[in-house]
Amino acid sequence: MELSSDEEEARTFVQVISEKYNPENFPYGQGIGVVLLPSPPGSPVKDRLFLPSTLVLNDCGISKAGDRSDIAAFCAHVVELDLSFNQLNDWGEICTIVSNVPQLDFLNLSMNPLSSMQLQPSMAEVFSRVRRLVLINTQVSWDTVHTLTRNTPELEELFLCLNGYNTVSESQASCPSLRLLQITGNQLQDWTEVRKFGRLYPRLSTLVLANNSVDSVRDTKEALERLFPNLRSINFNNSGLRQWEDIEKLNFFPKLEEVKAQGIPLLQPYSSQEKRSLLLAQLPSVTVLNGSAVSEGEREDAERFFIRYYQDQKCPERELPERYHVLVSKYGRLEPLAEVDLSPRCATLSVRFGEREEALSLRLEQTVGDLKKQIRTLLQLPANSVRLFYTAREIGFTLGPEELKCGSRALHSYSMRDGDEILVVQKVKSRCSSSDT
């Protein structure tokens, strides 16, 4: 009987391991992290392999498990298993693999088509040892997610990115062990969906909501304290936050110390420095903002900037944020910062060439190369024929003249001032073939 094309192309977990770690590929009996052991009499596996503790079998076309005893013989010491980008679409096959990897701690099933099959509770106990579970772009249902979390009592990290969720289904049983939830790139918009994570995962410390359209934080201080008592880090990158009130509400999370909020509509009108200062001033307990640690000096600068920013806006008293009043009570009302022009100036220097001396007005943003051209024109000297030495009058007698060698260096970097001197020396070719003096 001929096999169908699908059956011909179906590859098993055991088959892929056997091919990837075939003893013939390791002529000395072992490969990197792979130990070849003699098989006991009657073993179903010709040669037993103790594979690396981290086993990566991504994008291998796996759709079936293969023989249970072979999996157990191969994977006795496997701790981390990456099965991403395969063709697994049957939880029964996945459970056969997992149940025969006794030390499994990390499991990555990303990019496998898991949308059509539900995981039966009676099968889910095999996941009980897993502490980190990655289900990115699997379209796995919330019912299956809850079945998994109910049967993984030590689960600490869960990745549910790119699964098309626009709502969050609740469960009767919470998952108190979960510490990190990454749900990046879904379609969550309403805060009423996000707040469900507080009930589902009461000890959550890190929540990554990046690339969702969450447009607000609509909860009271009491509700946020109750729902997220342990949250230390939240990521709103590329979300839909539009109001400063939503940033202020982040202070209601009692343990929050790290915030990411880049690419949100609220901050689009501001410069990079304004964005960071205004955010930082609003979040007094945050110690890491957008991935960068906050120093005490930066915090004070940001808080002072915040006061001046709202003073300059001349907002009506009733429109000033509460944080403004808190900071004014700390620093008082502040005078505007003096405007300092730091742009390069012009200076008039004395140019000496032999017995000749000329006054030359220079734009200090130009380079040494520009200066040489200007002086050759002034003194009517041929190209590449001069060396320039700069003397600052105030320190010239102490340090002596400094040769201007780097043609691309700006003149203002030498701190030139009116009255300083440029000595022009014409190059003289030596009689030797060596370089000019």
Is residue 2 predicted with pLDDT exceeding 60?
no
Would the pLDDT of 29 be above 80? Answer: no
Contacts for 434 with CB less than 8 Å, ≥ 6 apart: none
Round to whole Å and give the CA distance between 41 and 44: 9
Left (φ > 0), alpha (ψ -120 to 50) or beta: where does 422 sit? beta
Does the structure show a pLDDT above 80 at 245? yes
pLDDT of 81 reads: 98
Domains of the chain (ranges plus CATH)?
Answer: 164-336 (3.80.10.10), 346-410+418-424 (3.10.20.90)
pLDDT of residue 335: 72
> Please, what is the average pLDDT of the chain?
87
pLDDT of residue 294: 96
Our measurement of the distance from residue 216's CA atom to the centroid of its chain's CA atoms, rounded to an integer in Å, reads 23
pLDDT at 117: 87
Rounded to 5°, angle at Cα 77 from 76 and 83: 90
> In terms of residues, how long is the chain?
437
The pLDDT value recorded for residue 50 is 62
**d(Cα 237, Cα 198) in Å, to the nearest integer?**
20
Radius of gyration of the chain (CA): 35
Q: What is the pLDDT of residue 181?
A: 98
Is 356's pLDDT higher than 90?
no
Q: Taking each helix axis as running N to C, give the angle between helix 322-331 and helix 296-313, from 0 to 180 degrees, rounded to the nearest 10.
A: 120
- Average confidence (pLDDT) over 7-33: 69
Report whether pLDDT(392) > 50.
Answer: yes
- Percentage of the chain with pLDDT > 70? 86
Indicate whether this model's pTM tops 0.75: no
* pLDDT for position 179: 98
DSSP 206: E
Least confident of 54-68, 103-117, 177-191, 329-343: 329-343
Tokens of 316: 């009506």
Report residue 250's pLDDT band, with 50, 70 and 90 as the boundaries: very high
Q: Is residue 55 very low, low, confident or very high in pLDDT (cuts 50, 70, 90)?
A: very high
Looking at per-residue pLDDT, the higher value among 380 and 434 belongs to: 380
pLDDT in the model for residue 4 = 45
* Residue 1: both structure tokens together: 């009987």
pLDDT above 80: residue 340:
no
